[in-house]
Structure 1
Amino acid sequence: METGELAASLDSHDPAVGLRAVGALHRLAEQVEAVSVARARQLGWSWEQIGDALGVSRQSVHSKHGHSKQGPTK
């Protein structure tokens, strides 16, 4: 879903259209999070720092993204 289409979908009165837009937003947020976590790890950020920035525990973010071999492990 493109940005313009997504914005229009969020304003739709059809719940199916709105819910598809929500799903697209969730997928986009997951992709942005994965890229950002990988970048932070490459720059030497600890899991605790990343968790703090995301508002979650270090255990939570490590469990979700720790499989990546990018960056140092701490």
Structure 2
Amino acid sequence: MTDAKDLAESAASADPRVGLRAALALRRLADSLERLQVTNARRNGWAWQEIADALEVSRQAVHKKYAKEM
């Protein structure tokens, strides 16, 4: 699933297999977007607490998840 329209249609599918694959694709996309924006925030001087606040998680959670990548 690469096209946004196909992904949206798949997410609404009555077939659980198709819908679940769409959910997986969306989860992977969301994870990738989050990683990209955390990297962007750190490059722009954001503190871990600022990122955590934006993501509505604890500072410890976001630091644990991304600190090794920075």
Bucket of the pairwise TM-score, normalised by the shorter protein: over 0.9
Q: Which amino acid is 1:43 matched to?
A: N
Deviation string 1:17-53 (CA, Å, 9 cap, x unpaired) is: 0000000000000000000000000000000000000
Q: CA deviation at 1:4?
A: 1.2
Asked whether 1:19 is paired with 2:20, we answer: yes
**1:31-42 pair list within 5 angstroms:** 31-42=32-43
TM-score, structure 2 normalization: 0.94
Q: Which has the higher contact order (CA 8 A, sep 6+)?
A: 1
Displaced runs of 4 or more, over 2 A = none
TM-score, structure 1 normalization: 0.89
Asked whether 1:57 is paired with 2:58, we answer: yes
- Count of residue pairs brought into register by the alignment: 69
Give the helix-richer structure, 1 or 2: 2
- Structure 1 unaligned spans of 5+: 70-74
Alpha-carbon RMSD across the aligned residues, in angstroms, is 0.7
- Structure 2 unaligned spans of 5+: none
Distance 1:8 1:19 in 2: 12
